[in-house]
Each structure stands twice: as structure tokens, then as C-alpha cells.
Structure 1
Amino acid sequence: MNILTENKENIKSLEKKFYDYACKLAVKAFKNWLQELDRELMKSRDKELFRHKGHRKTCIKTLMGEVEYSRAVYQVMDNECEKKFVYLLDEYVGFENIGFVSANLVERIADNICETSYAETAKNISSLTGQSISRQGVWNVVQKLGSQIERQENRYIELNEKHQLQGEKEIAVLFEEADGVFVRKQKRYRHKGNNSFELKVAIAHEGWRETAPKRFELAGKTVVCDIASGTAFNKRKEAVLASKYNLDEINTRIFNSDGGLWIKKLHDYNDEVHFQLDPFHIQKAIRSSDIGGDYLKQVTGMLRESKIDEMFEYLDAVANSVETENAEEKVRSLISYLKSNREGLIPYQKRGLELPKLPEGLVYKGMGNAEHNMYLAVAKRMKHQSASWSPQGGLKLCKLICQKISNTLSETIENLTTFEIPEHLKGNALKPLLSAAKAPKKDGKGYEGKHTAMPFVGCAVSNGRKEIMNWLKGRNPISYF
């Protein structure tokens, strides 16, 4: 008989056992390290300002599982404010910014929620990490993180209005696109036939980078979203750009959009902006006005050859010669749309502009990716999955998606949870686990219950008492049969 087959073990379950065991060790190490840091904060605090009021237990969700630990609570002894209690450890490590969830777990949740539903994200996190989390738990993380991103942007707006905000990056040309996406409202937010709300999205980039033969990607993308008016949205967009770029060094902006009224407010204020009407929306408008014959070929050809005046003469003649009112209305509508955006009909590359040289590795290409970018930023996740949203809840999720597309999501989470580690604790996160001498002597609130001596110690010992003492020491268990 083969002894290797006597006790069969599935490699999948065995791997899970080792993983669970490692997570338990990591949870214990993390707990001990947090409590050691809390003791350091207790020693170095301003004792006149912060009065120690005992310890309270709490729990933080991490990739390894739930870490329960105890930290000190302090009463703020400041005569100028009301009675207030604070946890210095929670403030120090940033738990008040993103909740009692570790930065790594927040990043996993944020990365998943940009692609899948709340329920599916909860399922993925629970199966791929040592932490079990519910759909509501995922929602709480998204709302908390989205609020922090919005608060950061509001701060940028305040600084930019005071001319105190200037990014470090310097470029000569900035490409911008903007559009709005209507997403469905949740039932309780609908009223008087208003079943949707518009998410405004702007995307800025520095040019095109070739990633493979005839394949290009946008370089240095910055994505901003809001549900406010066009004027308020423009302030937010400019503030976010000002936090990244030195806007004074940008001498050329090329702006591509569908010509919506609120979108025009994003570029009318600046003479350095060259507006271009989105080619996709131009072709869409031309096709919707088709009356048959060689109409599409004629209009498209004149537009391609930049014969704008000739095109309008042709359209006017067509509108006057069609036989039905419906056909005339379609052509007149096209004329109105194109005339209202006449300055953007010719692509920027055909205008004879003196364009600055782009940074090394970047090239100029024709714009017209607005619709595709809006699909990636909003529609793919929030419109095409039969989902409905509250305006604020949808906005918070959109903030995360914008950060992910901008490749700044991880950096934002790190900034919210960055703190300075005391010198003697650096690199010693595992010491409390591996060294019994470093392990804390007290857990929780520091109360371990009453300690009593071994029964019958110092007394006359009979055979029965001796048997009981041996049993308490783990020797010779008592047999009742």
C-alpha cells in the first residue's frame, strides 16, 4: 500500500490553510505594532492638552483580515472648545480620512468598483483576501474615499482663486476634451419625469504616445468630473489642472467637444484655446439629416476639403429644394448646428497654427476621442450595466473612476494614509510577533481579570488535593471512570 495515498489532501485546500495561517500571524503582528505606536504617541503627547481617559477597542479591516486592537482615548483640555474626546492613533495613521480600512484594502476595493458592481466587488475582495466584506461595506469605502477626493479638489479651487496654486510640471501644449453623460437616477430621486442626471467629464492630456506599430495612447491623462453647472465645473477643472501644471507656461490649448452650451463655457474665457468640434458628432449630425442621393458624399467631401462657405451654400440650396417639411427641418437643423460651431469645423492641424514641439516620445494626432473617453470614464461602468444612482453616490464613484483613468488613485490613497514612523519602530513590524519580550503584556483596556494563586498551595496536601493540583498543571488528567 502506498502511504502517500492514505491521507489525501487537495492542494487547493492545503494552500488555503497555509494562507489563513499566514494571515493570522500577520494580523497579530499588525495588532502589536499598532499598540506599540499608540504607546509612543501616549508618551510624546502634550499632557496638558490631552488627558488620558483609558483605552477603547476597535477593529480595522485589512487584506489579512480584521485586526482588533486597543488604543488610548484622550480628552482635549482646551478651554476654547467644547468637551471633546480624540484618538491620537486614529488621527495619526489616517483612519479618520478613509475609515477603519487599511490603505491596501481600500485600493483593492477602489480598483474593483471601477469595473464591477458593489455586490461583485464584495465577492471578489472576500474571496481573494483574508477579509470578508459586505456590499454595504464596499459602498461605505467608496463614499468615504470619494468625499476625500472631492474635499481635496475643493481645496484646490480655494487656492486657485487666490492665485496660490501652481503645479510643478511645465508643458507648452495641452489637449482637452469634455462631454456630458446622462445616467439613470434611483427611483426615490426621480420627480416630474426627471429620471436622469448629467455627469460632466473633462479629460486633458499632453499628446499621443506610440505603444505599438500604429497604436497610440493618450499621455499624462487628467480626468475631472462633477454634476455642477458649467461655470462651477470649469473652476474645478482649472483648479485640478493648476495643481499638476504650471498653467502660465502653457501657450496653446486645443479643445475638442460636441459644442454643447455648458461646454462652450469651458473655453470661451481663454483666447489661447483653439476649439474644435468633435468629428464624431459632426458625422452623426450629417447622417441624421440625410435626404438621400449623393447628399452625404457632397457634404462630407466639402467638409473634408475645408470648403466651409461652399458647404453652407449647398446645404441652403438643398433645404430650399426638398419636397417635404420634415426633410427641410432636418437640413435646417444641421445648418444651425454647424453655424453655431463654425469656428471649430476645421481640424486644428489644418488651420496653419504654429504648434510648439511636443516632449520627446509624443506626437500630434487628430482629435476626436471624446466619445470613446466618455465611455471609458463614465458610460462603461455607470450607464451600460442597467444600474441607477443617487446624484451624490454616483458622483463619488465617478471621482474614483476619474482618478483611476488619471493613474492617480493609488497616490491619492497613499497621501491620505501617510504618516511618520518613529525611528525605533522602522523595520520592526514583526518583532512584537517574533519576540515574546516585545509582545504587549496587556490587551484591550488593560484589564486581565483577577489573578489568584494555585489552590491548596501552602496547605496540607492530601492525595485528592494533590490529584487536583496535578490536573490544573496539565499532568495526569483526572479519570472519572
Structure 2
Amino acid sequence: MVNGNTSTATIFSLLDGIENFNTLEEVILQIARRLLVAVLEALDDALMPAKPKRYRIAGFRYRTITCLYGDITFKRRLYVKATRKKKRGEGRFLLDEALNLRQGKRLTGRLLKLAVSLATRLPFRQAAEIMAEAGMGQLSHMTIHSEVKRNGLEQKGLQEALRNKLFVSGEEPQGKKKKVPALFIEADGIMIPLQRSKQERIEVKVGIVYEGWIEKGNARHLKNPRVVMGIYEDGEQFWEALTTEIARYYEIDEKTIYVVNGDGASWIQKTAKEQLPGAIVQLDRYHLHRDIRQAYGNETARGLMEILAKGQEQVFLDTMEALIEEAPNRKNKQQRQKVYDYCQRYRDNLLDYRLRLPRQLEGLKLYGMGVAETTVDKKIAIRMKKRGMSWSEAGATAMVALLMLKANGELAAWLEKKMPQVEKNPVKVIKEKKIVKEDVEAWLRKRVPALVGPEAGTDWVKYTLRQLTRISGAIF
């Protein structure tokens, strides 16, 4: 609240030359940028008396960073430590160190968070254009790409570290864990195009782990789903990564029932049993029905699936085999033979999991499974495949790691942790608070060189910045 020392005319002088709210907003952003520059340079002044021993000032250097207000350029002192031979040593910027400004990096923490988050939704060029249109500085798409790659590869490294701890060192992830009677797992993969590689495509493996289903009205949702996705050397690595994710949130109990659903890929149907002994693995109903329909026709496929639903897998296989000879042509006969061989190979995985449970799961309604393909489409394909784009292997690995965080609702929190934290000096803070109580306007004049510097006579200082200092003083 403004007291009597500040007149209405003083406040409204800020509106001189303002045509509408949009121009007012732009003026305020300009003021914010200039004020931020002034404060940064004032902080650099304040750090000078505390420079390390044997360091001398080697002059000023300019730096441009992009923050939420747009691009700002400021100068700060370069400190150099001379060696005994009086040669220049490594330079330091005390201001950069005090504010944890990353060397050679242009984006500030909050803008980094926004840029990376936006890039998981849109191509890099579009992300850069949108940020520029919003007045957040002129970022190149390559800048955003490099930040995505750096952050994504770091996240992938953390995932690999957890996997290695569990499967190499035998160290289980720490933290509060649940004990559940069953976990449902769905797996699928998607091929994405590569560039500058001997391989044309590479597979992203995806898994979804959930505790069951929740009914809300007429809708049904997965209960506590978690997504695991990545580019792995083989199926074994994928299942190790998925098991690691399970170990982070659930107690590993021999009584826990694992149900795995997936298409006919061997890394799902075969490797899942090797990595999760005792797991109930089933062929995904959608893919199975589709393959049979293409080979045998709609009506026959419907009848075969009804036989299978009754738990009669041998009748199902015998019927399929008998119908091979009734194929209308040689090509269709080969197609039917191929589908039959596929079903015969995975005959233990043919029946619906609900017919194979070792015990009844009390309090848990059971439904058919098959959400993996939709998850792949929504979480990966839209961003990485459907716009005709191609990736380097490192770039794809990084993006998938960030998309995994996003799918689990953890991207914003993880990027927040990545933001540089300003180290505060308690003595300085207390001292400055005392100064503020004595004379706010004087403190601001002292800390904002523009009020007494070469720009002191410009309109923005005379009619805007000075008024802001007076208003601030009145408010405090």
C-alpha cells in the first residue's frame, strides 16, 4: 500500500506515453531487463572487496543470457591469478560463481525448464519460434537441441546407474515401498528412423507397470501407472531397467503375481519369463486377433478367439492347423502356416491371464489388457516419428529419457532440481536488510548504478526507474 509520501501524480507518471495495456506490458518488460542488468552489475561491484587473494582484475567482460524477460547483456569483472612467472592464470568471474551461472550456457534455469519441456512436445524449431514470439529472447533451435541432449543423456545416465546398482552391486533402491498382490506389465516397441548411422532405424522399447484398474463412472483408468522406456542393447537390459523401476516403488515379494502382456516379439514373450520367473505372460489379444483375421478372415478369426476365450488352447491350435489346407491360394496357405507356427511357438502364452492365475486376487476387478500400443503412440510416435523426422542415436536416447519423465509426470520436478540454486551469504543478507530499513531509496540508488551513472538523464531513468525506487520506498 502506498503512503502519503507518494502522490498519485508520481504513480501515474509511469503511464506517460502508454497507449494501451500491451504497450504498458512491453515498457515494464524493458524496465525489468534494465533493472536486472543494473542489479547484476551492482552485485559484481559488491563482490569486488571479497575477491580471493592473489587475484587481480583483468578488466570487464560482457555476457548475454536469455531469461524469462528476454535477452540481457551485462558486464562483470574478470579476475586472474598470476603465476610466479607473472603469466596469466585461469580467469574467474565471481558474479557467475556467486549466482551459479553455468559457463558458456545462455539459458537461465527457469527458461531452461520451459525450453526443454516445450521441446518434448514440439520440434526444436517450433519450440524456438514460440519462445521468440512470446518475447523470451532469440534462441536458436540448436541451443534448445543441445540442452535437451545434455539433460536427457544425464537422466539416462542416472537410470543406468540405478540399474547397475541393482544388477551388478546388488543394491536395492531405497525409499518407501508398497506391497501389492499383483503387478500388471505391458510391453511394446516402436522403430524410429536414424540419421548419420549405419542403421536405418532403432527400436525404442516401452513398458507400463500398474497395480490394476480404477473405475470412475463409465470410465476405467489404470491404477498408479509408471512408464519405462529407452533404447537398450537387448531385451535383457530392458527388463532389468523395468525391474529396477519396480524395485524403486514396490517390495520385491515372491508372492507377488506378475502379469505381462505384449505382442509376439521374442524380447517380450521369451525374455520376460527369464527375467521375471513365474510371471504369467500372454500374447496381446489385439495383435493376436489381427494376425488371425488377416490370415483366416473375420468370421473364422472370431470363432477361433471364442474357442481360446474358453480356455481350449489345444482345440484352438488343432482348428487352425486343419484350416491351413483349406486356404484359397498358395500365398494365403503360407500366411496361415506362419500364424499357426507363431501360435504353436507361444502356446503357453495363448490363454488369457485370468484363466491362469494361481489364486484369486481379492478386492481387485480384472479386465483385459492392451494399452501399450496407445501409450507408444501418444508418448513417443507423435513426437519422434509422425512428422517425418530422424534422429541421431544419442539424440533419440536423450529425448526418450525426457519423454519417460514426462509420461510419469516428473519432468517439471526434475528440471526444477536441475536449476542452479543461488548461494546466499547470511551476513550479507542481514546487512542489506538493515540498510533497507534505514533508507530504501538510498539503498536502491547505491545498488542501481543507472540512477547515478551515464544514463541518469535518460527518460527511462528519470521518469520510470526513479519513480519505481520512490514507490518501493513508500511500500516498505
What is the TM-score of this pair, normalised by structure 1? 0.73
Q: CA deviation at 1:318?
A: 0.5
Q: Which residue in the other structure is 2:177 paired with? A: 169
Q: Indicate how the Cα distance of structure 1 residues 369 and 165 shifts in structure 2: closer, same or farther if over 3 A, else same.
A: same
User: Are 2:210 and 2:222, in contact at CA under 8 Å, matched by a contact in 1?
Assistant: no
- What is the identity, as a one-letter code, of the residue corresponding to 1:404? K
Q: CA deviation at 1:373?
A: 0.7
* 2-structure distance, mates of 1:76, 1:283: 76
* 2-structure distance, mates of 1:272, 1:90: 56
SS in 2 for 1:281: helix
Q: Cα deviations across residues 217-246 of structure 1 (Å, max 9, x unaligned)?
A: 452423331243222333333334434444
SS in 2 for 1:367: coil
Q: Which residue in the other structure is 1:155 paired with? A: 161
* 2-structure distance, mates of 1:21, 1:324: 76
* 2-structure distance, mates of 1:348, 1:226: 28
Q: Indicate how the Cα distance of structure 1 residues 365 and 35 shifts in structure 2: closer, same or farther if over 3 A, else same.
A: farther
Alignment of 1:404-415 (within 5 A): 404-415=406-417
Q: Indicate how the Cα distance of structure 1 residues 218 and 426 shifts in structure 2: closer, same or farther if over 3 A, else same.
A: farther
Q: Indicate how the Cα distance of structure 1 residues 88 and 23 shifts in structure 2: closer, same or farther if over 3 A, else same.
A: closer
1:122 to 105, 111, 128: 128
Q: Cα deviations across residues 85-133 of structure 1 (Å, max 9, x unaligned)?
A: 7778767866559944233212222222222111111111122253331
Q: What residue ranges of structure 1 are gaps of 5+ in the alignment?
A: 1-6, 78-82, 450-473, 475-481
Q: Which structure features the higher share of helix residues?
A: 2
Q: CA deviation at 1:177?
A: 1.9
* 2-structure distance, mates of 1:117, 1:374: 18
1:396 to 380, 395, 398: 398
- What is the identity, as a one-letter code, of the residue corresponding to 1:199? V
Q: Answer with 248-257 or 195-204: which moved more.
A: 248-257
- What is the identity, as a one-letter code, of the residue corresponding to 1:415? K
Q: Indicate how the Cα distance of structure 1 residues 441 and 19 shifts in structure 2: closer, same or farther if over 3 A, else same.
A: closer
Q: CA deviation at 1:405?
A: 0.7
Q: Which residue in the other structure is 1:321 paired with? A: 326
Q: CA deviation at 1:33?
A: 9.0
Q: CA deviation at 1:389?
A: 1.4
* 1-structure distance, mates of 2:279, 2:219: 28
User: Are 2:192 and 2:390, in contact at CA under 8 Å, matched by a contact in 1?
Assistant: yes
Q: Cα deviations across residues 147-189 of structure 1 (Å, max 9, x unaligned)?
A: 2211211221332221223242323233222222111223x33
Alignment of 1:207-286 (within 5 A): 207-211=212-216, 213-248=218-253, 251-263=256-268, 264-286=270-292
* 2-structure distance, mates of 1:357, 1:33: 67
Q: CA deviation at 1:58?
A: 3.7
Q: Indicate how the Cα distance of structure 1 residues 331 and 410 shifts in structure 2: closer, same or farther if over 3 A, else same.
A: same
Q: CA deviation at 1:374?
A: 0.8
Q: Cα deviations across residues 35-83 of structure 1 (Å, max 9, x unaligned)?
A: 599789x68xxx79xx746576544322122354537768799xxxxx9
Q: Indicate how the Cα distance of structure 1 residues 354 and 39 shifts in structure 2: closer, same or farther if over 3 A, else same.
A: farther
Q: Indicate how the Cα distance of structure 1 residues 290 and 266 shifts in structure 2: closer, same or farther if over 3 A, else same.
A: same
- What is the identity, as a one-letter code, of the residue corresponding to 2:237? A
Q: Which residue in the other structure is 1:341 paired with? A: 346
Q: CA deviation at 1:379?
A: 0.9
SS in 1 for 2:370: coil
Q: Percent identity?
A: 19
Q: CA deviation at 1:375?
A: 0.7
Q: CA deviation at 1:395?
A: 1.9
Q: CA deviation at 1:15?
A: 4.9
User: Are 2:177 and 2:248, in contact at CA under 8 Å, matched by a contact in 1?
Assistant: no
Please provide the CA RMSD for this pair.
4.0
Alignment of 1:19-38 (within 5 A): 19-21=28-30, 23-24=32-33, 27-28=36-37, 31=40, 35=44
User: Are 1:64 and 1:129, in contact at CA under 8 Å, matched by a contact in 2?
Assistant: yes
Q: Cα deviations across residues 297-325 of structure 1 (Å, max 9, x unaligned)?
A: 22122122222111101001101333532
* 2-structure distance, mates of 1:118, 1:163: 40
User: Are 2:153 and 2:397, in contact at CA under 8 Å, matched by a contact in 1?
Assistant: no
2:137 to 131, 135, 139: 131
SS in 2 for 1:321: coil
Q: CA deviation at 1:207?
A: 3.0
* 2-structure distance, mates of 1:60, 1:436: 29
User: Are 1:177 and 1:257, in contact at CA under 8 Å, matched by a contact in 2?
Assistant: yes
2:306 to 262, 286, 301: 301
SS in 2 for 1:101: coil
User: Are 2:213 and 2:220, in contact at CA under 8 Å, matched by a contact in 1?
Assistant: no
SS in 2 for 1:176: strand
- What is the identity, as a one-letter code, of the residue corresponding to 2:171? Q
SS in 2 for 1:268: helix
Q: Which residue in the other structure is 1:206 paired with? A: 211
SS in 2 for 1:199: strand
Q: Indicate how the Cα distance of structure 1 residues 182 and 156 shifts in structure 2: closer, same or farther if over 3 A, else same.
A: same
- What is the identity, as a one-letter code, of the residue corresponding to 1:110? V
SS in 1 for 2:304: helix
Q: Which residue in the other structure is 1:311 paired with? A: 316
* 2-structure distance, mates of 1:97, 1:364: 54
Q: CA deviation at 1:372?
A: 0.4
* 2-structure distance, mates of 1:31, 1:250: 60
Q: Which residue in the other structure is 1:185 paired with? A: 194
Q: CA deviation at 1:247?
A: 3.5
Q: Indicate how the Cα distance of structure 1 residues 391 and 440 shifts in structure 2: closer, same or farther if over 3 A, else same.
A: farther
Q: Which residue in the other structure is 1:463 paired with? A: none
Q: CA deviation at 1:388?
A: 1.5
Q: Which residue in the other structure is 1:17 paired with? A: 26
User: Are 2:258 and 2:279, in contact at CA under 8 Å, matched by a contact in 1?
Assistant: yes
Q: Indicate how the Cα distance of structure 1 residues 29 and 174 shifts in structure 2: closer, same or farther if over 3 A, else same.
A: farther
Q: CA deviation at 1:342?
A: 2.3
